[in-house]
Amino acid sequence: MALVSMGPMLKRARAQGYGIAAYNMIDYNSARAVVEGAQALDAPVIVQVSVKTVKHWGYTPIAHWVRDLAATVDVPVALHLDHCTDLDVLRRCIDAGWTSVMFDGSSLPFEENLDKSLKAYAMTEQAGVGLEAEIGAIGGVEDDKHVNEDEARLANFDECVRFVRDMPNLAVFAPAIGTAHGMYKGEAKIAYDLLERITASISIPIALHGGTGLTEEQFHRCIAGGCAKVNISTMHKMLYINSFVKLKEQKPNLEEPLTFIAAQNEAMKEDVKSVIKIFGSAGKAADARSVLTQRH
Ligand code: 13P
């Protein structure tokens, strides 16, 4: 299939009570594992890319890789840009073929975040691609963004309502609800009451950041509470590295790189499949495809 926009399928996922996995790809092999894992379980999926990764490989190669991978499967695949603070990078991704982008103004004072997010919204609306925007401050480390525990801040409910008011077509909304990027020290403290309040007044699907390390029960509660896009990065990165290391330890004389790449692909793919099962999106490709003609 051609790449799809994530907005309509996220709306559908929220309405139907399942979550769509959004994996931060590292390279071609990792994007391939994500797409193949989704295809194996007949699930819609989002391949997302951090700004650092875009800058490492370049805009066009990434767009080509993911577009070509999507063309080999019949499950819906969206190409999304993760946390981006630079409108120029957003524009370049849109021009290269991304089907949605995230503007992250969460480190700015509320009014400034709103103002810049509205600019990003105008840009994406005009280009016909989806937008994700964030408020509050999600803790942890993602890409070059470090938010210490004492800086992490839950989204303010009234600000959430105001924030989305002029962005009715937002593909997905990312309020900080207590999850964090990276590994958790102890169990994540999720503000379910805040999530409930938000979803009771805002119909836009919610993005759950900081998926690595959450328990099955936490995923289920968040997805049932309106989180339709569920982000996983750290676990994917760990498997990317550890699968290589483990194989080398098991077979120190092995020298064929393709054998390592195949083992790495398998390890990442198995994780994608287990996550898709937890999120309830296995077998939902046709359900997600049924809404693709709707606006982003
Ligand atoms: P983790 O690294 O905790 O899986 O979070 C991923 C994420 O939210 C990317 O934006």
d(CA 175, CA 153) in angstroms, rounded, equals: 10
- Asked about 287 being catalytic, the answer comes back as no
> Is 181 close to ligand 1, i.e. is its CB under 6 Å away?
yes
Written as six digits, the tokens of 15 are 């309405």
How many angstroms does the Cα of residue 231 sit away from the middle of ligand 1? Answer: 5
Query: Can you tell me the distance from the alpha carbon of 86 to that of 213, in angstroms, rounded to the nearest whole number?
Result: 29
pLDDT at residue 21 in the model: 98
Give 147-186 pLDDT, tens digit per residue: 777 667 899 999 999 999 999 999 999 999 999 999 898 8
For residue 113, how many other CB atoms are within 10 A of its CB? 21
From the CA of 207, give the closest atom in ligand 1.
Answer: 8
Rounded mean pLDDT of the chain? 95
* pTM score, whole prediction: 0.96
Q: Kindly state the average pLDDT of the residues 5-27.
A: 98
Q: Does 295 fall in a domain?
A: no
Q: What is the C-alpha end-to-end distance of the chain, expressed in Å?
A: 17
Residue 294 in any domain: the answer is: no
pLDDT at res. 150: 66
Among 130, 35, 34, smallest CA distance to 81 is for: 130
pLDDT digits (tens, 9 = 90+) for 21-66: 999 999 999 999 999 999 999 999 999 999 999 999 999 999 999 9
Separation of 183 CA from ligand 1 center, angstroms? Answer: 9
- Domain with residue 108: its CATH number is 3.20.20.70
Task: Output the pLDDT for position 151.
Answer: 67
In a domain, 44, yes or no: yes
CB 18 within 8 A of CB 279: yes
Please check whether residue 45 is in contact with residue 23, taking contact to mean a CB–CB distance below 8 angstroms.
yes
Q: Which domain holds residue 119?
A: 6-289
Give, using CA atoms, the residue closest to atom 5 of ligand 1: 210
- 8 touches 291 (CB < 8 A): yes
Look at residue 263 and tell me if it is in a domain: yes
pLDDT tens digit sequence for 106-144: 999 999 999 999 999 999 999 999 999 999 987 777 777
Could you say which DSSP state residue 18 is in?
A: -
Using an 8 Å Cβ cutoff, are 22 and 80 in contact?
A: yes
Could you give the number of structural domains in the chain? 1
Q: Is residue 59 part of a domain?
A: yes
Distance 91 CA to ligand 1 centre (A): 23
Q: What is the number of H-type helices and E-type strands within the chain?
A: 12, 11
Q: Which of 27, 82, 144, 271 is catalytic?
A: 82
Q: If pLDDT is split at 50, 70 and 90, which confidence band does 94 have? A: very high
In a domain, 1, yes or no: no
- What is d(CA 87, CA 44) in angstroms, rounded to the nearest whole number? 28
For ligand 1, atom 1: residue with the closest CA: 210
With respect to residue 189, please indicate whether it lies within any of the assigned structural domains. Answer: yes
* The pLDDT of residue 293 is above 90: no
Mean pLDDT along residues 65-76: 98
DSSP-derived secondary structure for 48-99: EE-HHHHHHH-HHHHHHHHHHHHHT-SS-EEEEEEEE--HHHHHHHHHHT-S
Per-residue pLDDT, averaged over 258-274, amounts to: 98
Whole-angstrom CA distances from 126 to 60, 78, 163, 246 are: 21, 19, 19, 47
Task: Output the pLDDT for position 281.
Answer: 98
Does the pLDDT at position 88 exceed 90? Answer: yes
Locate the ligand 1 atom nearest the alpha carbon of residue 83 and give its number: 10
